[in-house]
């Protein structure tokens, strides 16, 4: 069953604009390979939508909590830890998935795939002392 409830748009202008574009057209700014993650807020319970780079293998998606190399985790990361049931839009495809953080060798494999898909992730990791989490989104 898809997530339902009240949606609260992001207070970050570029995130709100990209979410609106993806919802209207199914594509992201400059045609980038982006998916749209819908989570339930860890504190508010409101639905939140976040554009993320598309990292997918055999129907499983990796969500990389990079915040472009910032020193804090993105809000969506806390949301999926608190409420692992998520919705994902990939183009015209809408999926109901469950999130789980990966560690060890499993994280290493997915991190390598993520960096191969979007090389900026390696740069982002070099900007921060925190280990950037990788969360799998699975059926």
The model's pTM is 0.94
Residue 96 maps to a domain:
yes
pLDDT tens for each residue of 68-111: 999 999 999 999 999 999 999 999 899 999 999 999 999 999 99
Structural contact between residues 13 and 20, judged by C-beta atoms closer than 8 angstroms = no
Residue 5 maps to a domain:
no
Structural contact between residues 51 and 82, judged by C-beta atoms closer than 8 angstroms = no
Residue 102 maps to a domain:
yes
Q: Which domain holds residue 65?
A: 13-138
pLDDT tens for each residue of 1-17: 789 999 999 999 999 99
Compute the half-sphere exposure of residue 95: CA atoms within 13 Å on the CB side of its CA. 18
Residue 63 maps to a domain:
yes
Q: What's the structural domain count of the chain? A: 1
Residue 50 maps to a domain:
yes
Structural contact between residues 130 and 73, judged by C-beta atoms closer than 8 angstroms = yes
Residue 49 maps to a domain:
yes
**CATH label of the domain that carries residue 25:** 2.30.110.10
Q: Name the DSSP letter for residue 64.
A: E
pLDDT tens for each residue of 35-50: 999 999 999 999 999 9
Residue 106 maps to a domain:
yes
């Amino acid at each position: 069953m898809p997530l339902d409830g009240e949606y609260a748009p992001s207070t970050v202008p570029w995130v709100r604009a990209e979410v609106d574009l993806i919802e209207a057209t199914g594509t992201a700014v400059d045609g980038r390979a982006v998916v749209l993650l819908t989570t339930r807020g860890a504190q508010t319970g409101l639905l939140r939508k976040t554009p993320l780079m598309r990292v997918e293998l055999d129907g499983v998606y990796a969500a990389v909590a990079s915040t472009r190399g910032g020193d804090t985790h993105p809000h969506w990361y806390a949301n999926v830890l608190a409420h692992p049931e998520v919705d994902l839009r990939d183009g015209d495809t809408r999926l109901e998935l469950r999130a789980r953080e990966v560690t060890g060798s499993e994280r290493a494999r997915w991190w390598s795939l993520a960096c191969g898909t979007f090389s900026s992730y390696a740069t982002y990791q070099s900007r921060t002392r925190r280990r950037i989490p990788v969360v799998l989104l699975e059926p």
